[in-house]
Amino acid sequence: MIFLGLASNYSARDIWRHSFTLGSRRDYRRLELALASRYGATLANTSLVFSGRTAIYLALQSFIESGRLKPGDHVALNAFTCHAVVEAIRRAKLTPVFVDLAPRSPDYSAAALAEKCQQDKRLRAFILQNTFGNPVDIAAFEAVKRQYGLLLLEDLAHCAGRHYPDGREIGTVGEAACLSFGKGKAIDTIHGGAVLLRDPTLRLPKTFDKSAFCRRQHTGGDPPRASWYPLFGAIARGLAHLHLEKPWLWLLLKLHWIERSADTKLRTDKTITVWQAKLALRQLAHLPDKPLREYYLIDHRDECLKHLRQKGYRLEEFWYEVPVAPTRYYTDVHFPEKDCKNAVFFAAHVINLPTWYHDKKHQKQIADARKLIKTYEVR
Ligand SMILES: Cc1ncc(COP(=O)(O)O)c(C=O)c1O
């Protein structure tokens, strides 16, 4: 069977490692050092945090505290994203401004950003997410950034380890870079993230005492269940052969032993554990430079997914089923569908394939799925 979840590729050894890794304060520190040096930030401006959305919130808050943004200012973001990004912008008391996707692309273009800047004089910052790990034309964005004096936050949730067309690593261009270590991300420790302020004139928010925060948190644990996720996932995949994975996942959710990925919290009072830092450090050193997911735009998606399911593919959890996912939070976002027609179209037609199956047998299965998907492709 083929699944979209990254952990479906874990070997028994990976599952064991995830469940039983022990870490120390040194691992926590080493991860901060490795990130700081990779992305060009000082150690004082680098912090591990509880989630990707916490990282985005802290970066935006530091833009405000440095006087580079004012509360209420507008921040441009992709019109095809996770509500976590909107949550972080709103928590910083800034206003999200969705920029529609370029036709049949999962990201907005530099030209669309320039157009927004002309219409919206309060637009002061933009977030690039390089959806699925597909790099945008960064040189064109830098020209718009210079012309309008914008701040750039690079959201690496989908694209850690990837490079822009001009060879620079994603995360080494903007004033801030934010990572998510959430489920299915390039670095996956179930939850977690990191904020890096690359501009040396910036400081982490005053209310966020990184050192006290570290001391207080990194010896303590988060709920031990985070370490059991890959094991729970492996059981779910085993049960999928008997069509029993849904009751299993339902039970885990009821017991609060797992939570849905999109429900990770934005919290500044907690960080990751030392064992998560150790796992993340290991994954950081082995980041593959390839997209996180393949994407196709297809017609009759339900029929296609049903067809794929009958053949043993579980591809229902594609990114994203609505322009700002998940569906259960979509109405709260008040997404401007009329202004973002390309994003609405994209979300209604997208389907993903995983990119991390390496062995011949699975690669053949992926090739077969690709062939089937292509028969549904939008012309
Ligand atoms: C593009 C993007 N940015 C940021 C996040 C936030 O990540 P987290 O769940 O770690 O807060 C997500 C989550 O899925 C995402 O898809």
What CATH number is attached to the domain comprising 66? 3.40.640.10
Tell me what pLDDT residue 2 has.
Answer: 84
Q: What is the extent of the structural domain holding 370?
A: 293-374
Q: Which of 217, 250, 284 is the last residue of a domain?
A: 217
Domain check: are 50 and 162 in the same one? Answer: yes
Question: The pTM is what?
Answer: 0.94
Tell me what pLDDT residue 8 has.
Answer: 64
The enclosing H or E element of 280 equals helix 274-285
Tell me what pLDDT residue 60 has.
Answer: 98
Q: Which of 165, 199, 217 is the last residue of a domain?
A: 217
The enclosing H or E element of 11 equals none
Domain check: are 182 and 54 in the same one? Answer: yes
For residue 169, what is the DSSP state?
Answer: B
Q: Of 53, 57, 181, 322, which is best to mutate to test ligand 1, by the most ligand atoms within 8 angstroms of its C-beta?
A: 53
Domain check: are 38 and 161 in the same one? Answer: yes
Compute the distance from residue 193 Cα to the ligand 1 centre, in Å: 9
Question: Nearest 5°: CA angle at 187, between 321 and 288?
Answer: 95
229 burial level (CB within 10 Å; 0-12, 13-18, 19+): buried
Tell me what pLDDT residue 310 has.
Answer: 94
CB-based pocket (< 6 A), ligand 1: 51-53, 81-82, 84-85, 129, 155, 157-158, 180, 182, 193, 264
Could you tell me the two tokens for 229? 């996720």
Domain check: are 165 and 77 in the same one? Answer: yes
Q: What are phi and psi of 343, to 5 degrees?
A: -65, -40
pLDDT along the chain (379 residues), means of 10: 73 80 91 98 96 97 98 98 98 98 98 98 98 98 98 98 98 98 90 96 91 55 66 82 85 82 86 91 93 97 97 93 97 97 98 90 94 96
Tell me what pLDDT residue 259 has.
Answer: 79
Question: What domain count does the chain have?
Answer: 2
Picking from 49, 92, 31, 53, the residue whose alpha carbon sits closest to that of residue 261 is: 53
Which is the closest atom of ligand 1 to the Cα of 56?
A: 4
Compute the distance from residue 53 Cα to the ligand 1 centre, in Å: 6
Residues 340 and 98 sit within 8 Å (Cβ to Cβ): yes
Burial pattern 138-174, b for ≥16 Cβ within 10 A else e, equals beebbebbeebebbbbbbbbbbbbbebeeeebbbbbb
* 233 assigned to some structural domain: no
Tell me what pLDDT residue 9 has.
Answer: 66
Tell me what pLDDT residue 221 has.
Answer: 45
Compute the distance from residue 85 Cα to the ligand 1 centre, in Å: 7
Tell me the C-alpha distance between 193 and 177, whole Å: 11
Domain check: are 194 and 309 in the same one? Answer: no
Q: Which of 217, 243, 269 is the last residue of a domain?
A: 217
* 278 assigned to some structural domain: no
Q: Which residue has the tokens 């420790």?
A: 189
Domain check: are 213 and 297 in the same one? Answer: no
236 burial level (CB within 10 Å; 0-12, 13-18, 19+): buried
Tell me the C-alpha distance between 247 and 261, whole Å: 18
Compute the distance from residue 20 Cα to the ligand 1 centre, in Å: 26
Tell me the C-alpha distance between 274 and 217, whole Å: 9
* 260 assigned to some structural domain: no
Domain check: are 205 and 332 in the same one? Answer: no
* 259 assigned to some structural domain: no
* 302 assigned to some structural domain: yes
Domain check: are 42 and 175 in the same one? Answer: yes
Q: Which residue has the tokens 């718009």?
A: 144
* 240 assigned to some structural domain: no
* 283 assigned to some structural domain: no
Domain check: are 62 and 151 in the same one? Answer: yes
Per DSSP (E only), the strands in the chain are 2-3, 46-49, 74-78, 81-82, 95-99, 123-128, 151-155, 176-180, 193-197, 293-297, 313-314, 324-325, 350-354
Which is the closest atom of ligand 1 to the Cα of 78?
A: 1
Domain check: are 65 and 188 in the same one? Answer: yes
Q: Of 85, 159, 162, which is best to mutate to test ligand 1, by the most ligand atoms within 8 angstroms of its C-beta?
A: 85
Domain check: are 32 and 116 in the same one? Answer: yes
Tell which phi-psi region holds residue 167, choosing left (phi > 0), alpha (psi between -120 and 50) or beta: left
Atom 13 (ligand 1): residue with closest C-alpha?
A: 82
Beta bridge partners of 81: 324
Tell me what pLDDT residue 39 has.
Answer: 98
Domain check: are 300 and 195 in the same one? Answer: no
* 311 assigned to some structural domain: yes
